[in-house]
Amino acid sequence: MSLTKEDLSQIKQIVDTTVHSVVGREIEGIARIVAKGFLGVNKQFELVDKRFKEIDKRFEEIDKRFDIIEMRLERMDARLDLLERDVAEIRKNVVSRDTIEDIIARLEFVEKKMGIKV
């Protein structure tokens, strides 16, 4: 028994319909899986974006703290400058310990020579 053109045409049509139907369903299934995967990725990106926003806020707070610390350091520098100037001024008018000890030694020597102190 041999197949006619019409038989072959019908077989081809059945195979095409069946293959297209099966392949179409498989493609749709794969498309759904891919779509779910992208949905998961989108949710993860949203979480990452949210975390970055939180981190940005924390860095802004840290920047504010550093600004405050910088201002305090500038004030402390200014106060130290004043103290350094005051100490330098005091040093101009103060006699050193070595000088005082030298003067005392000389005074004692003079007192001994004069017989004032024994």
Handedness of CA 12, 15, 18, 23 (dihedral sign): negative
The per-residue pLDDT for range 40-94, each reduced to its tens digit, is 777 888 888 999 999 999 999 999 999 999 999 999 999 999 999 999 998 888 8
Q: What pLDDT is recorded for position 69?
A: 97
Question: Whole-angstrom Cα distance, residue 48 to residue 1?
Answer: 68
Place of tokens 């924390």: 58
b (16+ CB within 10 A) / e for 60-72:
eeeeeeeeeeeee
Q: What pLDDT is recorded for position 96?
A: 86
Does this model's pTM top 0.95? My answer is: no
Place of tokens 């400058």: 81
What's the whole-number mean pLDDT along residues 3-30? 78
Question: Whole-angstrom Cα distance, residue 3 to residue 5?
Answer: 7
Question: Whole-angstrom Cα distance, residue 24 to residue 31?
Answer: 10
